[in-house]
C-alpha cells in the first residue's frame, strides 16, 4: 500500500498557494509507485497581485522539464485563468496553437514553458489538482476489462476517459466527463493515469493516496498465488535430491571456472 507522507507541522509552514503546491508535489514525487520520474503534474489555482498591483486569478502548474520529487517554486508556470477559461469553448486546437496561446497567458516570462497536459488542470474547476501515473492505477487502466474492474472498485465515483494522446482534446474530454457525473471523485485515463482533486492541498494529496490504495487493495485481494505467472509448471525437487545433484555437478563447475590464470573458486 502507498503511505501518506503528509507532515502537518511541515505543511503548516507553507502559507502561500504556491508553497503548498511545492510541498505536495515533492511528497507525490518522492514515491515512485505514485509517480514515475518526470511524469505527472500538479496545480493550484490562487489569487496573486499582478505587475500593476491588481488581484488576478492564477493557476500554478508544473512546467515542462522538471520532476515532481525535486521541483521548486521556480519550476512552476503561473498562467492567468481568465485568459485560459474561454479555450474550453473551442472544438479543437493543435499542440502548436495551444503552446503559443499558453505562452501569452504566462504571468512571468521567466517561468518554464507550460506542459502539454496544462489544460486538463485549467479546465477542471477545482482549486488543487493532481495528475499522476501510479503503478496500481496504470495496471487498471491498461487492463482489457479495466473499466469494468474500476466499477467494482469505485462504483459511480469515477469517470473513464478512453485513450487519446495528451493535448487539448484529452483535456476537454476529461472536463466534460467530470461535469457529466456529479459523483465524480477521480478520472481514470485509459493506458495513462489518474486525475484527482481537492479544496486544499492536503485534501488533494489525501485523495490521491486514498484512490491509489483502493486500487491496490482490490488488486492484492485478487492475486491468486497459485495462478500467478501461469502457476507452478514444475514442482520443486525434495531437498535431499537437490543436495545430491549439487554435489555431483559442483566439481565440474568448479573445474570449468577455475582452470585458467590461477583463479580458483572455492
Which residue number is nearest to Zn ion in terms of Cβ? Answer: 193
Name the residue nearer to Zn ion (CB basis): 64 or 200. Answer: 64
State the Cα–Cα distance between residues 5 and 26, nearest whole angstrom.
10
Q: Tell me the window of 11-19, 59-67, 189-197, 233-241 that interacts with Zn ion (CB under 5 A).
A: 189-197
- Identify the sign of the CA torsion 26, 30, 34, 38: positive
- Identify the sign of the CA torsion 247, 248, 251, 256: negative
Name the residue nearer to Zn ion (CB basis): 14 or 113. Answer: 113
Task: Tell the smallest beta-carbon distance from residue 255 to Zn ion (Å).
Answer: 55
Task: Tell the smallest beta-carbon distance from residue 250 to Zn ion (Å).
Answer: 51
Task: Tell the smallest beta-carbon distance from residue 227 to Zn ion (Å).
Answer: 32
Question: Which cell goes with 232?
Answer: 507452478
Show contacts with Zn ion in window 198-257 (CB under 5 A). none
Q: Tell me the window of 4-12, 61-69, 100-108, 185-193 that interacts with Zn ion (CB under 5 A).
A: 185-193
| Of 168, 193, 189, 167, the residue nearest 178 (C-alpha) | 189
Cβ burial of 257 (10 Å; 0-12, 13-18, 19+) is exposed
Name the residue nearer to Zn ion (CB basis): 138 or 149. Answer: 138
What is the β-pairing status of strands 41-49 and 193-198?
unpaired
Q: Tell me the window of 11-19, 45-53, 192-200, 221-229 that interacts with Zn ion (CB under 5 A).
A: 192-200
Q: Tell me the window of 19-27, 59-67, 78-86, 190-198 that interacts with Zn ion (CB under 5 A).
A: 190-198
| Of 6, 28, 23, the residue nearest 208 (C-alpha) | 28
Q: How far apart are the two ends of the chain, measured CA to CA in Å?
A: 43
Question: Which cell goes with 186?
Answer: 477521480
Task: Tell the smallest beta-carbon distance from residue 192 to Zn ion (Å).
Answer: 6
Task: By CB under 5 A, name the binding residues for Zn ion.
Answer: 193
Amino acid at each position: 500500500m502507498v503511505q501518506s507522507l503528509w507532515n502537518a507541522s511541515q505543511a503548516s509552514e507553507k502559507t502561500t498557494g504556491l508553497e503548498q503546491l511545492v510541498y505536495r508535489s515533492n511528497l507525490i514525487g518522492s514515491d515512485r509507485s505514485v509517480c514515475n520520474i518526470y511524469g505527472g503534474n500538479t496545480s493550484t489555482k490562487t489569487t496573486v497581485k499582478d505587475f500593476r498591483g491588481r488581484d488576478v486569478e492564477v493557476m500554478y502548474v508544473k512546467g515542462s522539464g522538471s520532476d515532481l520529487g525535486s521541483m521548486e517554486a521556480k519550476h512552476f508556470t503561473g498562467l492567468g485563468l481568465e485568459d485560459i477559461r474561454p479555450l474550453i469553448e473551442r472544438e479543437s486546437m493543435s499542440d502548436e496553437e495551444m503552446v503559443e496561446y499558453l505562452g501569452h497567458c504566462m504571468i512571468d516570462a521567466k517561468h518554464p514553458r507550460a506542459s502539454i497536459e496544462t489544460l486538463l488542470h485549467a479546465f477542471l474547476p477545482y482549486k488543487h489538482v493532481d495528475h499522476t501515473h501510479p503503478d496500481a492505477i496504470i495496471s487498471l487502466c491498461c487492463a482489457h476489462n479495466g473499466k469494468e474492474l474500476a466499477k467494482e472498485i469505485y462504483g459511480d465515483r469515477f469517470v473513464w476517459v478512453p485513450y487519446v494522446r495528451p493535448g487539448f482534446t484529452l483535456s476537454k474530454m476529461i472536463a466534460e466527463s467530470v461535469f457529466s457525473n456529479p459523483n465524480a471523485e477521480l478520472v481514470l485515463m485509459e493506458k495513462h493515469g489518474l486525475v484527482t482533486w481537492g479544496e486544499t492541498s492536503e485534501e488533494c494529496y489525501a485523495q490521491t493516496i486514498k484512490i491509489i490504495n483502493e486500487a491496490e487493495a482490490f488488486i492484492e485481494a485478487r492475486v491468486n498465488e497459485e495462478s500467478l505467472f501461469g502457476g507452478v509448471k514444475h514442482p520443486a525437487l525434495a531437498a535431499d535430491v537437490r543436495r545430491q545433484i549439487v554435489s555431483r555437478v559442483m566439481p565440474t563447475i568448479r573445474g570449468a571456472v577455475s582452470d585458467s590464470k590461477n583463479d580458483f573458486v572455492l
